[in-house]
Amino acid sequence: MQDVTDLAFMRVIARYGAPDFFFTEFFRVHAQSRPEKHILRSVTEHATGRPVFAQLIGESVPDMLRTVRELLAFPVAGIDLNLGCPAPKIYRKNVGGGLLRDPAKIDAILGALRSAVPGLLTVKMRLGFDDPANFERILELVNRHRVDLLTVHGRTVKEMYRGEVHYDLIARAVQLARCPVLANGNITSAPRAAAVVAQTGAAGVMIGRHAIRNPWIFRQCREQFAPRTATGEPAAGVFQPTLADVRDYVDRLYSATATPGRPERIQVARMKKYLNFVGQGVDPAGAFLHDMRRAQTEVELFVACDRHLLVDPARRFAPEPYPGVVARPNREASFETCSLDTGPVRPAL
């Protein structure tokens, strides 16, 4: 997720249980672009012990090839092509999810990338732009160009993050693709991940927004997929965080994302980008979100956190988002986010 799942977030989430591998924020590729230094740090400085794939978004083949050559000089696990971003300011430039309208362009890009990437080449896509009319055609291109891993978000670009995820079409991708397929979209918890894997036959899941809400989710997935007891329960149990654990997470996020010289109000606004997701599991009435969103200073922010997280610190943090408690990730700060579900975990460990 652009401007969210950065180096600082990778380091924090690794503290609670890192995914099998990470994807960077996307490198914007165009005629004047160079790999952004702050995103490169996610590759060179993350120290999480997990592989990191470099994610690209663009449509110019020569510039894609130039960028790949530059990125392969760094210890990337592979190159990932973004065909999924649903933000209008992105798809209007015919990149991200916008490319799903143009299979011929996707063919050219994948062909060029496959010739330039000696290692792993991965793709994240949605079902289509307005509808899934091109879905199977693009899956054919994924096969033709020997993509190594495919992630499918089970909605169209126009569906954004609204409505039901079409897991039946993810299952269709599993049937047709010659590479492993990760299921993406509304992977809200470890039990949900297990259910989606069972329903689709996917090799695993990719998680983005719900890893911000619940940084323990990758640990929980490993425990969920672990050997079972005779009664069908995970043999080692699944960790259940408390509100005190959430308060520790908030502290670590604040420290990790703080930048010397950044105005306090900007840092507080940045924290709200994360806490909008966290708040979905704090209380069913959304009272934490109400108070947190009105904080203007660090003191006010942590007073709100303490009021809702430390009054009953042993209370269990909700494993699923409370119904009707909605995160507003793009309305709390001056910068916008193209929300991309990132950070997978495989059931077979």
Among all residues, which ones are annotated catalytic? 85
Do strands 120-126 and 78-83 pair parallel, antiparallel, or not at all (unpaired)? parallel
| Residue that has been written with the tokens 């495919």 in this structure | 150
Q: Are 110 and 141 in contact (CB under 8 A)?
A: yes
SS3 of the chain: the string is: CCCCCCHHHHHHHHHHHCCCCEEEEEEECCCCCCCCHHHHHHHHCCCCCCCEEEEEECCCHHHHHHHHHHHCCCCCCEEEEEECCCCHHHHCCCCHHHHHHCHHHHHHHHHHHHHHCCCEEEEEEECCCCCHHHHHHHHHHHHHCCCCEEEEECCCCCCCCCCCCCHHHHHHHHHHCCCCEEEECCCCCHHHHHHHHHHHCCCEEECCHHHHHCCCHHHHHHHHHCCECCCCCECCCCCCCEHHHHHHHHHHHHHHHCCCCCCHHHHHHHHHHHHHHHHHHCCCCCHHHHHHHCCCCHHHHHHHHHHHHCCCCCCECCCCCCCCCCCCCCCCCCCCCCCCCCCEECCCC
